Structure 1
Amino acid sequence: MYARSTTIKGDPGNIDAGITYIRDEVMPAITAMDGCAGMSLVVDRSSGQCIATSSWRDEASMHASGDRLASYRARGGEVLGGTPTVEEWEVAVMHRDHQTSPGACCRITWTRASDLDGTVEFWKSRVLTQLEGMDGFCSASFLIDRAGSRTCGTAVFDSQAALDATRADAARMRETATREMGVEFLDIAEFELAIAHLRVPELV
Structure 2
Amino acid sequence: MFVRAIYATGDPTKIDTAIRAMNTEGRDLLEDRPGYRGASVFVDRTLGKLLAASWWETEEARRNSDEVLRERRAAMLDPFAGTLAVDNYEALVFHQIQQPQPGGGLRLTRLEFDPMDTDLLADTFRTTVIPKIETLSGLARAVLLVDRERGRGLVGNTFVDQASLAASRAGQAAARHEGAAKAHVTVTGLEEFEVVHTDVRGD
Distance 1:9 1:118 in 2: 33
Match in the other structure for 1:161: 163
The 8 Å contact of residues 108 and 190 in structure 1, kept in 2 or not, is answered as yes
Specify which of 165, 170, 173 is matched with residue 171 of structure 1: 173
The 8 Å contact of residues 124 and 182 in structure 2, kept in 1 or not, is answered as no
C-alpha deviation, 1:8, in angstroms: 0.4
The 8 Å contact of residues 4 and 55 in structure 1, kept in 2 or not, is answered as yes
Matched, 1:65 2:65: yes
SS in 2 for 1:54: strand
Q: Which residue type is aligned with residue 80 of structure 1?
A: F
Matched, 1:119 2:116: no
The 8 Å contact of residues 104 and 158 in structure 2, kept in 1 or not, is answered as yes
**CA offsets per residue over residues 152-188 of structure 1, 9 Å max, x none?**
1100111111011111112222221333222101111
Query: 5+ residue gaps in structure 2?
Result: none
Distance 2:79 2:198 in 1: 20
Match in the other structure for 2:75: 75
SS in 2 for 1:83: strand
Matched, 1:31 2:31: yes
Distance 1:35 1:178 in 2: 33
Match in the other structure for 2:54: 54
C-alpha deviation, 1:19, in angstroms: 1.1
Q: Which residue type is aligned with residue 118 of structure 1?
A: L
**TM-score when scaled to structure 1?**
0.94
Match in the other structure for 1:135: 137
Matched, 1:148 2:143: no
The 8 Å contact of residues 40 and 53 in structure 2, kept in 1 or not, is answered as yes
Match in the other structure for 2:104: 104
**TM-score when scaled to structure 2?**
0.94
**CA offsets per residue over residues 21-65 of structure 1, 9 Å max, x none?**
111110111111111111101100111111110011101111111
Q: Which residue type is aligned with residue 68 of structure 1?
A: V
Match in the other structure for 1:181: 183
C-alpha deviation, 1:106, in angstroms: 0.9
* Cα RMSD (Å): 1.2
Comparing 79-88 with 114-123, greater Cα deviation is found at: 79-88
Distance 1:139 1:31 in 2: 22
Report how many aligned residue pairs link the two structures. Answer: 201
Q: Which residue type is aligned with residue 76 of structure 1?
A: M
Distance 1:88 1:102 in 2: 24
Q: Which residue type is aligned with residue 185 of structure 2?
A: V
C-alpha deviation, 1:72, in angstroms: 2.3
Counterparts of residues 185-200 of structure 1 (less than 5 Å): 185-200=187-202
C-alpha deviation, 1:120, in angstroms: 0.6
SS in 2 for 1:94: strand
**CA offsets per residue over residues 111-169 of structure 1, 9 Å max, x none?**
01221110111001111111211111111111110011111110011111101111111
